[in-house]
Structure 1
Amino acid sequence: MIHDQTLDQATESSKAKKAVLYRMVMDKHTCPWGLKSKYLLERLGYEVEDHWLTTREQVDAFKARHGVTTTPQTFIGGKRIGGHSDLRTHFGLRLQDPKATSYRPVLAVFATGAGLALAASWAAFDTPFTLRAAEWFVSMTMMLLAMLKLQDVEQFSTMFLGYDLLAKRFVPYAYAYPVLEWTAGALMTAHALPWLSIPIGLAIGGIGGLSVFYAVYIQKRELKCACVGGSGAVPLGFVSLTENLFMVAMALWMLARMI
């Protein structure tokens, strides 16, 4: 994301300037980084001389002529700046680090869970603000988190085995966990088979909560959380602990309603 203040400063310094851009635009492939480079330059007030490389031969010839290995390539004032990342660096704009920890994935899951719950409540009861909406928020969020884990169970299980106390002793549990979480969430959403969903929620939530607490707050380990699947970069800690406590709380709530 471009910071407005930095962008404004860059815009002021780039007025009345021109840039030359070479990018791949083929029948079956348009380079996304070329589009981003063109958009960035235009946002910064540059007049872009846009050159399309429409065949593999043109691309190879361009790379050989300029001694580069990738496209797009931007030239400003006759000087080669480089690709999209080089362009952002040239203007002093932030580059996204793919390995940096981020809470964005889990925030997106919780926001989507809340949206689904409120929308379902509105459709069913003519108001989004109901007790059932709160229940649905927890159970639907459980299903969304399980879905992310199920996209790559192998990678999830590898991360999960790094800290879960039960999985370390019984490896198949690492593969079963997302299925159990999804099942419990679905049953809790439907208020069906509480004799099954409640024990599942209490078991996996309780074990998970203890595992996270032990790894983070007792052992003081710095790990990535497997809560949004194996590809996530969410730090293990409060978020994962919250996920597990939500499951336990939901199971206890449903148990209390049965009594």
Structure 2
Amino acid sequence: MLDVTKPEETGGKAVLYRMVMPDHLCPFGLKSKDLLEREGYEVEDHHLTTREETDAFMERHGVKTTPQTWIGDERIGGYDDLRVAFGKEDPAQETSYRPVIAIFSVAFLMAVALAVATFGTPLTPRTIEWFVAISMCFLAVQKLQDVEQFSTMFLNYDLLARRWVPYGYVYPYGEALAGILMVGGLLTWLSAPVALFIGTVGAVSVFKAVYIDKRELKCACVGGNSNVPLGFVSLTENLMMIAMGIWMPLRLWMGW
């Protein structure tokens, strides 16, 4: 099999066919060209400038999509195939914690900014509260973008949703409500029980699915299309909500 990771052994040239039309510039064609060049290939770049030309190309080569790349006499395929050929993971199969890292990082920096603006110092007890509350809001937004898809993935492991399907639709709104109220320190009598309830049910569900039943599932915590594995991240999300559900009323009761 052709080793595309060594351009010097394959002639150093690649042939790429991609759509470049007045009303459509294929993004995967651009990504393919960029990847080939970064891997050390000189790209012979062929533009398919009309729908008719593109359809004729696909019929001639027996392919269903463009772009298409050839290295030597071997057809590599589309952008995802090219990534795999270069030893990179297929984006469709790749598990990634990037969405979670982005959410928690930005939430933390926002909490620090709020603390500095409010108290003149970055680290206060309120910083942690804001961090968790803002994270809850961000995570809820991810779910609310496609509640139907989220609820479908959620049914794979949530114990309450399996008994009462509408809970999968209610959950994102409950998380968003609790998070928003906790950001402002408002209506703790409502936000704390909501966070405590959904956090507890979620933690038990995730623990059972992952650590008892040993199931390998995708986490619905960042929406229904995520490639984040179910496990530590989702459990952490739920434990954070449990902690806030206990801490917020305790803080008020103690007068802190």
TM bracket, shorter-chain basis:
0.7 to 0.9
1:131 and 2:118 matched: no
Is the partner of 2:123 in helix, strand or coil? coil
Distance apart, 1:138 and its partner CA: 0.3
Match of 2:178, SS state, is helix
Instruction: Map Cα deviations across residues 55-102 of structure 1 (whole Å, 9 max, x no partner).
Output: 112222333444443322334446544333443455x42232523443
What is the aligned counterpart of 2:56 among 29, 54, 61? Answer: 61
Out of 10, 14, 20, which is 2:6 matched to? Answer: 10
Question: Could you tell me whether the CA contact under 8 Å between 1:142 and 1:181 is conserved in 2?
Answer: yes
Moved more, 204-213 or 95-104: 95-104
1:144-175 CA-partner distances (Å, limit 9, x unpaired) = 11111111212222232333333333332222
What corresponds to 1:140 in structure 2? 134
Q: Is residue 70 of structure 1 aligned with residue 65 of structure 2?
A: yes
Provide the rounded CA distance (Å) in 2 between the counterparts of 1:224 and 1:253. 30
Residue identity opposite 1:48 in structure 2: V
Where does structure 1 lack aligned partners over 5 or more consecutive residues? 1-5
Q: Which position in structure 2 is the counterpart of 1:243? A: 237
TM-fit CA distance, 1:197: 1.0
CA distance in 2, matches of 1:81, 1:217: 40
Are 1:11 and 1:43, in contact at CA under 8 Å, matched by a contact in 2? no
Q: Map 1:214-233 onto structure 2 (within 5 A).
A: 214-233=208-227
Distance in 2 (CA, whole Å) between partners of 1:20 and 1:163 is 46
Question: Given the alignment, which residue of 197, 220, 229 partners 2:191?
Answer: 197
Q: 1:214 to 1:59 in 2, by over 3 A?
A: closer
Q: Report deviation, 1:111.
A: 1.8
SS in 2 for 1:203: helix
Give the whole-Å Cα distance in 1 for the aligned partners of 2:59 and 2:204: 58
| Partner-residue secondary structure (3-state), 1:70 | coil
Given candidates 230, 253, 257, the residue that maps to 2:247 is 253
Work out whether 1:207 is the aligned partner of 2:207.
no
- One-letter code aligned to 1:10: K
Alignment of 1:47-126 (within 5 A): 47-77=42-72, 80-90=75-85, 92-126=86-120
CA distance in 1, matches of 2:75, 2:165: 53
Give TM-score scaled by structure 2 length.
0.85
**CA–CA distance in structure 2, aligned partners of residues 81 and 161 of structure 1:** 38
Deviation at 1:54, TM superposition (A): 1.0
Summarize the alignment of residues 154-193 of structure 1 with structure 2, pairs less than 5 Å apart: 154-193=148-187
Q: 1:126 to 1:62 in 2, by over 3 A?
A: same
Separation in 1 of the partners of 2:76 and 2:160? 53
Specify the alignment match of 1:31 in structure 2. Answer: 26
The question of whether the paired residues in 2 share the 8 Å contact of 1:19 and 1:77 is answered with yes
Aligned-residue identity in percent = 61
Structure 1 length-normalised TM: 0.84
How much does 1:11 deviate? 5.4
Report the residue type matching 1:146 in the other structure.
A
Q: What SS class does the counterpart of residue 222 from structure 2 fall into? A: coil
CA contact (8 A) 2:81 2:90 kept: no
Aligned mates of 1:138, 1:148 — CA distance in 2? 15
CA 1:34–1:219 in 2, change beyond 3 Å: closer, same or farther?
Answer: closer
SS of alignment partner, residue 25 of structure 2: coil
Where do 5+ consecutive residues of structure 2 fail to align? none
